[in-house]
Chains A and B, each alone.
Chain A
Amino acid sequence: MAEKKSLIDKIQDLDPKIIYAILLVSLLIPYVRPLGLPIPISPETRAYWDYITHMPPGSVVAVQLASDPSTIPQTRSSHQITILRLFEQDCKVFFFTLRDDAPPLHEEMMKWVEAHLSAGKTITYGVNYVNIGYVADAEATIASLVADVKGLVEQDAYGNSLSSLPMMADINTGADFDLVVWNDGSRGIYMYALRQWREKLGTPLVIIAATINKPGIMNYIQSGQVAGGAFGVDGGAQIETISGYLGDAKKATEPGSLSALTLTILLLVSNTIYISKRFGKQPEIKGGEVK
């Protein structure tokens, strides 16, 4: 006859389905009852936003998008609010992407940007912004782009000759850009921009990325090589808070927060049981309570 498992053993060997159910409930609670959590602003996100807001009118900014549908929920808010702010400040924006599945995401975000421009503000393709679309994902591509923009691509994403676009008249190399905004997603290819653009030409670099890339990028923020960064949904929520623009990131932080709290509690419980068993102190159950 199989030995009956104690409650402690059952908790330690919890069925994954129960864990999934607990996590699902914690994800759904904020949608039923919003928690109204405060959003602390991190120094790197503050530095990122300060850099964007201090770009003078007429600045030329390169914006790269390497997020895909799986990571765009983390970076969408930061990315589109950044673009919106750059247009509001009369900056010229040069778009490109190193992901073959990112161009539709760019088009979607541009619709949001155009819908949220302030009253009377218009942007014209070819004058205020240019989009060359997807370019091959390789450091050689960035090196080539920095060396000769029109040499790498002769046409934009819509078939127009780059040389025919008014905005591109004075843009020939990477040195003609005043800032690079690099949306890295979760790719970890920010080193392309760091090595080929920032370190070679001194062009300032700011990064938007998924949270998983934050530890690596913090190196370069601390050393001053990257001027600032917005990471994950929290970064997006921080950008929304300090910019005043509404987005989805703030709403998304609450389920993330509660599920993180749930996971932390589960891990504390499982580790407490594991450590107590490891050191031979079996918890006793008296009156329905663990002693």
Chain B
Amino acid sequence: MALYKTQGPIVVAFLSALIVIVSNFVDAPGLGQLSTDVKSFGAIIAGFALFVGLLGIMQSHVNNVTKRKPLWQYSVLLVAVLVLFIAVGLAYGANSTQFLWIYDTIYGPLTATTYSLLAFWVCSAAYRAFKPRNLESGILVFTGLLTFFGIQPIASVISPIFYNIQSFIMSVPNIAGSRGIVIGIGLGVIGFGLRVLLGWDRSWMGAD
């Protein structure tokens, strides 16, 4: 495979990271502006990724429709609403009354409804699955119940002890445990970042 395909992306990634990292420690003329420009490139690429995602969704659902895959009718609906949003947004603007009307009547209620249904599913799933099958799951169930219930205003009405227990769990064991996890994640991110920059990990390039 051509060198620019295998090594080119690694060189670009390495140089970009080097500029940003060095600019944090060295106050050289022009380096600060170069670092700012590199960060702006990142922001532009992130914006472009949204467009790529849009193309991917369109391709996937148009494929569903043309090949009459199961539930293809929903794909028709999705593509139709997508095209409607884009057309109205381009014609009237994203802040126009028309665009906001579609948002308030279609997107907003559907998103809120989908999220609200989770409450019922979580309740049913918790009733069936939230059981202490061993010591660790027993501790999880017990502390989870205390935290979940203690945070509610009604718990304070029943007894102030529930709020105090919840507060203690959130402030002490929760923070102790999650701090360890966050430190571990941070170390992992540093390690992974080094592997990417040095070319040892090429999964982000689509390579094995």
Q: A residues bordering B, Cβ < 8 Å? A: 14, 16, 19-20, 23-24, 35, 37-40, 42, 68-73, 100-101, 103-104, 107-108, 133, 135-138, 140-141, 143-145, 147-148, 151-152, 157-158, 211, 214-216, 218-219, 222, 234, 237, 253-254, 256-261, 263-264, 266-268, 270-271, 274-275
Cβ contacts under 8 Å, B157 to chain A:
37-38
Residues A70 and B112 in contact, CB atoms below 8 Å apart: yes
Cβ contacts under 8 Å, B156 to chain A:
37-38, 40
Interface SS majority for chain A? helix
Cβ contacts under 8 Å, B154 to chain A:
35, 37, 257-258, 260-261
- Give A153 Cβ to nearest chain B Cβ, in Å: 9
Given A20-B120, A38-B157, A219-B175, the answer on whether A107 and B46 have CB atoms closer than 8 Å is no
The answer to whether B79 has its CB under 8 Å from any CB of chain A is no
Q: B residues bordering A, Cβ < 8 Å? A: 20, 32, 35-36, 39-47, 49-50, 94-95, 99-100, 103-104, 107-109, 111-112, 114-115, 119-120, 123-124, 126-128, 130-132, 141, 145, 148-149, 151-157, 163, 167, 170-171, 174-175, 178-179, 182
Given A19-B123, A147-B39, the answer on whether A104 and B175 have CB atoms closer than 8 Å is no
Q: How far is the CA of A108 from the CA of B109 in the complex (A)?
A: 14
Q: How far is the CA of A37 from the CA of B201 in the complex (A)?
A: 55
Q: How far is the CA of A211 from the CA of B126 in the complex (A)?
A: 18
Residues B46 and A267 in contact, CB atoms below 8 Å apart: no
Residues A274 and B131 in contact, CB atoms below 8 Å apart: yes
Residues B175 and A218 in contact, CB atoms below 8 Å apart: yes
Residues A234 and B170 in contact, CB atoms below 8 Å apart: no
Residues A271 and B132 in contact, CB atoms below 8 Å apart: yes
Nearest 7 interchain pairs by C-beta? A140-B42, A70-B115, A138-B46, A136-B46, A136-B47, A257-B154, A69-B111
Residues B39 and A144 in contact, CB atoms below 8 Å apart: yes
